[in-house]
Every structure is written in C-alpha cells, then in structure tokens.
Amino acid sequence: MTIPAQIPGAHDTCVQLTLRNTGNTVWTQAANYALAVTNDSCNLITPDVLMLDPSASVQPGQEYTFRTTLNAPPPPMTCMLTFQMDQGGTRFGAVYNTSVQVIGALDDARALSNTVPARMAPSQIVQVGVTFQNIGSTTWCDTSTFALKIINDTCSMVGATQIPLAPGQIIPPGYLYQFVFPITAPATEGHCTLAFQMSNAGVGFGETMTAEVDVMIPPNAAQEWSIYE
C-alpha cells in the first residue's frame, strides 16, 4: 500500500492501495470481499469499507488496486489510518498502519518539455505531448479539477480550452505527467503560437510553456497539377 506521508489540508487527495491475494480463495464483490478502514482518526475516508469493482475477480497470487479519496481537515494535524481485508465482516490478512501529516495546500507546476513541431503543413494533424512536473503539495487526479489549460492558441489548433488527465491517472507531488492530444494546423500558411499552464478549477498555476509553429506548404509540394501538364 502507498499512502502519502503528507497531504494538503482542506483538499481532496486521490490515493491507490494495492494488495496481493496470498490466500486460496477468489476475491469478488459478490462474495463480500472488501478493504476495511479499521481506524481513521481524522475521518479522511468515507465510507469506511472500500468495495471491489463488481466485475473484479482477484485470483490467488493476483493483485488488486483499491482507489479512494482522502478528505483532509484544515492543517496542521496528524492523522492515523489502519486498513485490513474483510470478507463479510471477518477481517483477515496483514494489518496496514500509517500516519498522515496534514500540511498547507500549494498548487505548483514546472513546465518541462513538449513535442509540438516547429513546422506543419496546412491542415496537418499531429499528436503532441506536453509534460509538466507537480512541484506543489496537492495531488493531480483524473477525478479532480486539475487539467492542462490552453492559455493561448492563436490559430485554434487545439480546439479546446483545457486537456484533462487520462482516466485512472494520479500524479503525486514530485511526479511528471505528459498530456497527449492532437493539434490541427490551419488551412492557410502563417505563424501560430500555443501556450500552456496547469490549472485547478480553471485557475492557472505554476510555470507556463510556449510553442511556436510555422504553417507552410512543404518544399516541392504541388499546389496546381495543371502547371505540369
């Protein structure tokens, strides 16, 4: 299991807890297998039982990842959490204890790199990547309001005002994330500017990143076949 040692106060933090089935039974929701929160001194998790997905069937030797959200109180505070597997009200397996320090919340991001090409042909579509690092104290989660904000798009190449995280993504402090999405060059030649910034609920934070694109017809590209006839 992995629970961060610190979480931002008065914020939600997405976490994942992975367990391995070391017994000889199959874990399913229908058989009432779940992960019980047996101690939660700050009421970080609601409800206190984390259910398996209805379609999950965890065979002996396999792992399963439970996902939940820690709803932190205002800082400062130290919270205790205890987890154990449960089957129909009967606890079994190892007991996992951890402490979590609630600290001040800070959204911050470092702009690292992008793969936006310097040149594109008119109407060309290219898949690009834009990478930021989480250098704040909050966790970026696909189910939260964190997203890549398009703060400048002079040629409407992105076709959106923000790019969400992909499903299932959780980006803790210190980790990197690459947003991948298509851009489309305009039908006419010209110069285009793109600028990106991380955002939370539409409010930008951290460093910005700029990319310049020249849209031009490639050399030796025929525009009018009639001139060669």
| pLDDT at residue 222 tops 80 | no
SS3 225: helix
Between CA 178 and CA 184, with CA 182 as vertex, the angle to 5 degrees is 140
6 secondary structure, DSSP code: E
Is 107 within 8 Å of 130 (Cβ atoms)? Answer: no
Selection from 81, 219, 223, 198 nearest residue 141 by Cα: 198
What predicted TM-score, i.e. pTM, was given to this entire model? 0.87
Cα separation, 169 vs 176, in Å, equals 11
Residue 223: pLDDT over 60: no
Go through the domains of the chain in sequence order and give each one's CATH number: 6-103 (2.60.40.10), 109-215 (2.60.40.10)
Asked whether the predicted pLDDT for residue 13 surpasses 90, the reply is yes
Specify which residues 152 forms β-bridges with: 195
pLDDT of residue 219: 81
What's the confidence (pLDDT) of residue 202?
Answer: 96
